[in-house]
């Protein structure tokens, strides 16, 4: 089928504009500074963080959980919506898959930052023990990374072939896209293989996506600690992950629509649909939150009581209510109205959801550790509290910048809206129209 | 206290403990654990040795020579001593927060920071009940949650009940610390300042690293904790906290031989636990600790005496001792 040249022209990757370059330099600078900070950590040890024997995990781990959570969006938009036949999501699939790949790569890197002995990472493979949830995480995250890369790559094959002709066989980008297209010719055999592979991948990635975040939840739930010791943790994390992921898609699709002038492809309809989806996901997550906090609060055992008091009214109260009200309730209220699902308010709510989701993970990881079963005595007073140090923040922001850099580079070199699929759908629509008339 | 052991053996152990200062001789409870059937016959030859208090004493030569290392053929740090089950009993009725256990432990394991492996907590279960001092160390659980979660087999359970850490294997993920409900694990957040202690330098030249002497040396970015002193057991001596305690709070021994000792008294473990209603911390978690506690009833010491030693925000400085 001949692809509409207008579509190709609109969707082909474009060079960075002035803002794009500024953005790139900004990200690179942040990453550079974080490399310096991480160098300090390698030399001096984790003492440069504010973590100590009680607050033994901190912002690195919560940031890791955040990345894993965000990465679930790939399976949500590409797999779940694709399989359920929600065709409106087609222009968003690539964005979601790009976010997923960036997030899962960064999840893997972030967890290394937290290690006291990163140079012994390969012991996980040479001395790994299957009974440790960390090994489950290693297995399931690497599987998810491979599946996500494939699910990003396969739908790109026809697009690469289209781009090869678009840029011209003998230009540099044309050659690259040609190589990446793996001799895609669009023959019937290739098409059926292509469709089957994507369908199989879409089915396969769902249990693996559930796996990565359930196992990540189990890193906490398999301990005895009040606040973590919960059978609710797996589904609670998954529900929260879909919220964070959908929020990130809404945010990034708004930005890309502006920067890449995609108004004709990412329309108000998409914000409307994503807004509705986000409301549903937020409600589900809110339900799990009620379970997670209300049941222990009702029983109010001594250990839980201390922990919950800290969250509801204590040191972490302002953060906690900001994450719950700002990150969940406000978005639900705004997005429930059709006006709230217009691009700008939906974008703002998406941002709020993502920021709230980031802090929510911080609140899941940190306060629990400061309430062990036995009293904290005989250690310096500041070991009873935790707030990340400046270097810890720099490293954390560095990881966020790296995730954004991966997204930026993928957006620069890949068509952010699937050209082939869009053209095909437009063609089908036109065919229907012509049949009717 | 009911006497379970016969007098000859107690005298023998008592005498045995007074030796060993020169490091040439090692004896004590573990000797008794090793050979319960020992009876002392009239000594023929004697040897002069310096006792812990500095006086010279005559010791039968036979007793001195009879003590080989506990490590038998094929001993490995991961397997431990065969046919042993090391346990500890902590008698809360005797603890007055003297903190000698902590300083001895810190000194002997070259702990240089605030990260003591042994802590004495000021406990009070409810406002109406009496406060007490609770020395807390690694429980060497029979179902250790830390071992369960370790991804690289760095922390492990030995056949003799001891839980150890291989600091050359540990990747520093700290999952074990999160898993331990007793908060007994500590982390080397920075390069341990052990280079400053001359003693460890003396040792380090001659010794290869082995997990059964934790802290020898400590390694940046890895987890440490109480090791139940296998290096002392090997010499048939008691762990440092046991011998350092002026009140005999800590009893150490072998559950298979049903015997524990604090250096002065040697008692039947089962009888002791039964008569004093011994218990373990957080029994409900199912971790099966190897450390038992005797409740702080009929106290031999005044709780308030410990208060002057109590420092909420500071560990014991090793330089003090």
CATH number at residue A174: 1.20.1630
Helix extents (H) in A222-335: 233-259, 268-299, 302-312, 317-321, 330-335
- Asked if residues B262 and B226 have their Cβ atoms less than 8 Å apart, the reply is no
Give, in order, the Cα–Cα distances in Å from B275 to each of B5, B33, B294: 16, 21, 10
Cβ within 8 Å, pair A223-B179: yes
Q: 3-state SS string over A244-255? A: HHHHHHHHHHHH
Tell me the pairing of strands B250-254 and B259-261.
Answer: antiparallel
Tell me the pairing of strands B223-224 and B86-91.
Answer: unpaired
Handedness of CA B17, B18, B24, B25 (dihedral sign): negative
Kindly identify which residue of chain A lies nearest to residue B172, measuring between CA atoms: A116
Query: A411 vs chain B: nearest CA distance in angstroms?
Result: 34
Number of H helices, E strands in chain B: 10, 13
User: End-to-end CA distance of chain B, in Å?
Assistant: 32
Q: Which residues pair with B253 in a beta bridge?
A: B87, B260
Query: How far apart, in whole angstroms, are the C-alpha atoms of residue A215 and residue A137?
Result: 6
The radius of gyration of chain B from alpha carbons, rounded to an integer in Å, stands at: 19
* Residues found in chain B: 321
pLDDT 10s digits, B223-263: 999 999 999 999 899 999 999 999 999 999 999 999 999 99
Question: What pLDDT was estimated at residue B26?
Answer: 43
Residue in A57, A376, A379 closest to B174 by CB: A57
Handedness of CA A399, A401, A407, A413 (dihedral sign): negative
Handedness of CA A410, A414, A417, A420 (dihedral sign): negative
Residue in A117, A134, A138 closest to B221 by CB: A117
- Domains within chain B, CATH numbers bracketed: 7-65 (no CATH), 86-320 (3.30.70.20)
Cβ of residue A374 closer than 8 Å to a chain B Cβ: yes
Range 1-30 of A in CB contact (< 8 A) with B: none
State which residues form the domain around A12. 5-270+383-425
Structure tokens at A90: 């087609």
A342: which residues sit within 8 A by CB, 6+ positions away?
A268, A271
Cβ within 8 Å, pair A116-B172: yes
Domain contains A372? no
* Residues found in chain A: 437
Lookup result for tokens 């899962």: A104
Query: What DSSP character marks residue B260?
Result: E
Domain contains A219? yes
Query: How far apart, in whole angstroms, are the C-alpha atoms of residue A21 and residue A15?
Result: 9
pLDDT 10s digits, B271-315: 999 999 999 999 999 999 999 999 999 998 899 999 998 988 888
Of A337, A343, A339, whose CA–CA distance to A268 is shortest? A343
Domain contains A354? no
Domain contains A211? yes
Least confident of A83-87, B52-56, B114-118, B153-157: B52-56
Number of H helices, E strands in chain A: 19, 0
- Domain count within chain A: 1
Q: With residue B268 as reference, give the H or E element that holds it.
A: strand B266-268
Domain contains A419? yes
Structure tokens at B255: 């559950």
pLDDT 10s digits, B38-47: 555 554 677 7
Cβ within 8 Å, pair A128-B285: no
Domain contains A277? no
Task: Choose from A44, A65, A116 for mutation: most chain B CBs within 10 A.
Answer: A116
Structure tokens at A177: 């896209």
Kindly identify which residue of chain A lies nearest to residue B175, measuring between CA atoms: A219
> What b-and-e string marks burial along A353-387, b requiring 16 or more CB atoms within 10 Å of the CB?
bbbbbbbbbbbbbbbbbbbbbbebbbbeeebbebe
- Asked if residues B278 and B260 have their Cβ atoms less than 8 Å apart, the reply is no
Task: Choose from A44, A367, A374, A389 for mutation: most chain B CBs within 10 A.
Answer: A374
Question: What pLDDT was estimated at residue B202?
Answer: 67
Domain contains A313? no
- The count of CB pairs under 8 A between chains A and B is 146
Cβ within 8 Å, pair B173-A114: yes
Question: What pLDDT was estimated at residue B1?
Answer: 43
Domain contains A251? yes
Of B83, B95, B40, whose CA–CA distance to B63 is shortest? B40
Query: B204, exposed or middle or buried, with CB in 10 Å at 0-12, 13-18, 19+?
Result: middle
Structure tokens at A305: 């009581």
What is chain A's pLDDT, residue by residue, as a tens digit (437 residues)?
A: 455 788 888 888 988 989 999 999 999 999 999 999 999 999 999 999 999 999 999 999 999 999 999 999 878 888 888 888 888 988 999 999 999 999 999 999 999 999 999 999 999 999 999 999 999 999 999 999 999 999 999 999 999 999 999 998 889 999 999 999 998 998 999 999 999 999 999 999 999 999 999 999 999 999 999 999 999 999 999 999 999 999 999 999 999 999 999 999 999 999 999 999 999 999 999 999 999 999 999 999 999 999 999 999 999 999 999 999 999 999 999 999 999 999 999 999 999 999 999 999 999 999 999 999 999 999 999 999 999 999 999 999 999 999 999 999 999 999 999 998 888 887 777 767 776 65
Whether the predicted interface score ipTM is above 0.90: yes
Residues of A in contact with B171 (CB under 8 A): 115-118, 120-121, 123-124
């Amino acid at each position: 089928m001949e692809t509409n040249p207008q579509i190709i022209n609109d969707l082909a990757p474009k060079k960075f504009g002035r803002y794009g370059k500024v953005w790139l330099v900004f990200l690179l600078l942040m990453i550079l500074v974080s490399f310096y900070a991480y160098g300090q950590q390698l030399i001096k040890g984790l003492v440069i963080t504010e973590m100590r024997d009680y607050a033994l995990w901190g912002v690195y781990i919560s940031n890791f959980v955040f990345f894993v959570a965000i990465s679930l969006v790939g399976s949500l938009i590409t797999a779940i919506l694709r399989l359920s036949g929600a065709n409106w999501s087609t222009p968003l699939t690539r964005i979601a898959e790009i976010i997923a790949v960036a997030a899962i790569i960064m999840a893997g890197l972030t967890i290394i930052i937290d290690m006291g002995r990163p140079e012994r990472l390969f012991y996980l493979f040479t001395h790994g023990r299957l009974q440790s949830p960390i090994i489950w995480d290693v297995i399931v995250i690497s599987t998810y990374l491979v599946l996500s890369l494939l699910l990003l790559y396969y739908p790109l094959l026809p697009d690469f072939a289209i781009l090869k002709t678009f840029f011209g066989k003998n230009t540099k980008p044309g050659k690259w896209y040609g190589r990446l297209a793996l001799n895609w010719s669009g023959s019937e055999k290739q098409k059926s293989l292509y469709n089957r592979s994507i369908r199989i991948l879409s089915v396969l990635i769902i249990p693996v996506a559930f796996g990565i975040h359930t196992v990540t939840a189990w890193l906490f739930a398999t301990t005895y600690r009040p606040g973590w010791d919960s059978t609710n943790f797996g589904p609670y994390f998954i529900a929260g992950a879909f919220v964070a992921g959908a929020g990130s898609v809404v945010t990034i699709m708004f930005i890309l629509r502006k920067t890449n002038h995609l108004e004709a492809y990412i329309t108000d309809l998409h914000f409307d649909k994503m807004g509705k989806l986000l409301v549903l996901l937020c409600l589900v997550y809110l339900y799990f939150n009620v379970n997670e906090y209300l049941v222990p609060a009702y029983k109010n055992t001594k250990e839980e009581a201390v922990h919950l008091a800290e969250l509801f009214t204590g040191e972490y109260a302002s953060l906690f209510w900001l994450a719950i009200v700002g990150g969940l309730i406000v978005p639900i209220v705004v997005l429930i109205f059709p006006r709230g699902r217009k691009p700008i308010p939906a974008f703002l709510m998406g941002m709020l959801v993502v920021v709230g989701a980031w802090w929510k993970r911080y609140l899941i990881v940190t306060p629990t550790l400061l309430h062990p079963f036995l009293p904290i005595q005989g250690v310096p007073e500041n070991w009873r509290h935790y707030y990340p140090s400046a270097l810890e923040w720099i490293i954390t922001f560095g990881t966020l910048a790296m995730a954004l850099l991966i997204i930026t580079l993928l957006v620069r070199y890949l068509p952010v809206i699937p050209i082939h699929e869009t053209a095909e759908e437009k063609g089908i629509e036109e065919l229907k129209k012509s049949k009717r008339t | 206290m009911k006497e379970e052991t016969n007098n000859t053996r107690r005298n023998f152990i008592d005498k045995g403990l007074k030796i060993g200062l020169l490091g040439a001789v090692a004896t004590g409870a573990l000797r008794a654990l090793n050979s319960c059937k020992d009876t002392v016959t009239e000594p023929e030859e004697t040897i002069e040795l310096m006792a812990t208090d500095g006086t010279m004493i005559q010791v039968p030569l036979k007793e001195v020579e009879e003590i080989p290392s506990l490590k038998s053929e094929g001993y490995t740090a991961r397997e431990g001593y065969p046919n042993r089950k090391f346990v500890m009993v902590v008698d809360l009725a005797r603890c007055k927060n003297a903190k000698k256990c902590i300083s001895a432990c810190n000194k002997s394991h070259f702990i240089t920071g605030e990260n003591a492996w042994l802590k004495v907590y000021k406990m009070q279960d409810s406002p109406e009940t009496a406060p007490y001092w609770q020395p807390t160390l690694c429980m060497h659980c029979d179902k250790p949650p830390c071992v369960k979660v370790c991804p690289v087999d760095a922390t492990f359970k030995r056949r003799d009940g001891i839980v150890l850490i291989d600091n050359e294997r540990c990747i520093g993920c700290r999952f074990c610390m999160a898993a331990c409900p007793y908060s007994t694990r500590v982390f080397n957040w920075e390069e341990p300042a052990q280079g400053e202690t001359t003693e460890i330098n003396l040792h380090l030249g001659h010794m290869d690293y082995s997990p059964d002497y934790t802290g020898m040396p400590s390694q940046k970015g890895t987890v440490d904790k109480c090791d139940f002193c296998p290096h002392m057991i090997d010499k048939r001596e008691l762990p440092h906290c046991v011998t350092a305690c002026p009140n005999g709070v800590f009893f150490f021994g072998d559950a298979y031989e049903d015997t524990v000792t604090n250096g002065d008294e040697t008692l039947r473990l089962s009888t002791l636990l039964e008569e004093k209603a011994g218990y373990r911390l957080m029994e409900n978690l199912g971790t099966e600790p190897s450390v038992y506690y005797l409740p702080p009833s009929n106290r031999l010491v005044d709780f308030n005496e410990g208060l002057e030693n109590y420092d909420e925000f500071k560990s014991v400085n090793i330089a003090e001792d």
